[in-house]
Amino acid sequence: MNLPQDLKVSVSKLSSCFRVTQSTYKFYWLLAIIESIEAGKEEIPKKELFARMIANAWFTVNYFHVSFGKQDKLQQAIEKLKDIEAFDVDTSKQKILDSLIHSTNKETIKELNHFDHNVPFKFLSPWLGAHDEKLMYQLSQENFNYPPYSLYKESILMQPDWLDYFKRNAGILKDFCYWNLALFLQTKNPNIPDIPNKLMRPDKRGSLLKHKKDFWDLVINEIGSVDCIYTGKKLITGTYAVEHFVPFQYVAHDLMWNLVPADPTFNSMKNDKLPNLDSYFDNFFEVQKEGVKIVKQLNPKNKFLEDYLSIFPTLDFSKDKYRETIEPMLTIASNNGFRYMEG
């Protein structure tokens, strides 16, 4: 991905800042700077930047369980701050940001200040070279090689031409960060699907209304009811939820082959838990098989039938093949922090 060129600043050095990366720090640091500039800041408190790093990575770590790597301090800090500040998984980005910026908790401040000795000066190495921290501060304040900002104890001060460049190209620069971050995280999570869509909290989850109306309502209206695969409760139209068998937080899609009617109360309780295949797979398979059979008869051009083609190219169901598709997903999800349902 190429960044917009500029006559006043060294875009090539900015493009090279992610060339050697061992952790997620640099990606989230640059994102934090861009967001602070968009908020009208020229001199930016470091505490705000560290708080933005945490807030931007929060959903990826806590909701989607994407691993940053065993040695990544940002992920470790998020896990600690979740307890220290009593945040929950679904706490909004703005609330996290505001709480961390204004926090006086010594443990919180310690977690944030850790990044002061790993991020602000090391990010400037394409401009200043690799030196000790004290010299890097001095060189940045002397504007040596014209870096994006000068380093001070409590803040960074954006250089005028870089400030203008960031303002004019904020959207492209954020895309540049996320694109490189996605590539980095994919190497850490080779078996996790759809990493790019797990980097930001969506404004709103997609509706499953059409999945219900155009597929499962057809099935239930035809045969009268289906049994919930978890509770055995008879489900009729208007009384069921559409549920992700493998949690949405892992698959990050709403394809029909992973969706089944379920008891709404149980669906809320299951949340992002993993189903035990020995307990539930046979029922899941039978409901799916019957559903596709009925929809094919009633509406052979139903678009949701296409969702199954990646597993069954001719829509001829095989229990073994279905299980072979789902079982590795559950194993990998479990290895990445998702928990199985109890009982």
Q: Strand (E) positions, the chain? A: 43-45, 149-151, 155-158, 226-227, 234-235, 241-244, 259-262
Q: Which pLDDT score, from 0 to 100, does residue 201 have?
A: 82
Asked whether the predicted pLDDT for residue 122 surpasses 70, the reply is yes
Query: Per-residue confidence at 279, pLDDT binned at 50, 70, 90?
Result: very high
Q: Work out the average pLDDT over 189-198.
A: 90
pTM summary value: 0.82
SS3 state at 234 = strand
Query: In percent, how much of the chain has pLDDT > 70?
Result: 99
Q: Work out the average pLDDT over 112-123.
A: 94
Asked whether the predicted pLDDT for residue 44 surpasses 80, the reply is yes
Q: Work out the average pLDDT over 329-342.
A: 89
How high does pLDDT run on average in the chain? 94
Asked whether the predicted pLDDT for residue 205 surpasses 80, the reply is no
Asked whether the predicted pLDDT for residue 227 surpasses 80, the reply is yes
Q: Which pLDDT score, from 0 to 100, does residue 203 have?
A: 66
Asked whether the predicted pLDDT for residue 91 surpasses 70, the reply is yes
33-42 pLDDT, tens digit each: 999 999 999 9
Asked whether the predicted pLDDT for residue 148 surpasses 90, the reply is yes
124-134 pLDDT, tens digit each: 999 999 889 99
Q: Which pLDDT score, from 0 to 100, does residue 204 have?
A: 67
Q: Work out the average pLDDT over 202-227.
A: 91
Give the C-alpha separation, 272 to 85, whole Å.
23
242-252 pLDDT, tens digit each: 999 999 989 98
The alpha-helical segments, DSSP class H, found in the chain are 11-15, 25-38, 46-62, 73-84, 93-102, 106-113, 125-128, 133-141, 160-168, 170-188, 209-211, 217-223, 248-251, 264-270, 277-298, 319-335
Pair 255, 206: CB distance under 8 Å: no
Asked whether the predicted pLDDT for residue 89 surpasses 90, the reply is no
- Would you kindly state where each structural domain of the chain is located, as residue ranges? 11-198, 209-335
Token couple for 236:
């009729």
Three-class HEC string of 154-211: CEEEECHHHHHHHHHCHHHHHHHHHHHHHHHHHHHCCCCCCHHHHCCCCCCCCCCHHH
- Amino acid (1-letter code) at residue 85: E
Query: Per-residue confidence at 137, pLDDT binned at 50, 70, 90?
Result: very high
Backbone angles phi, psi at 3, to 5 degrees: -90, 155
Give the C-alpha separation, 67 to 330, whole Å.
16
More confident: 176 or 118:
176
Q: Which pLDDT score, from 0 to 100, does residue 343 have?
A: 62
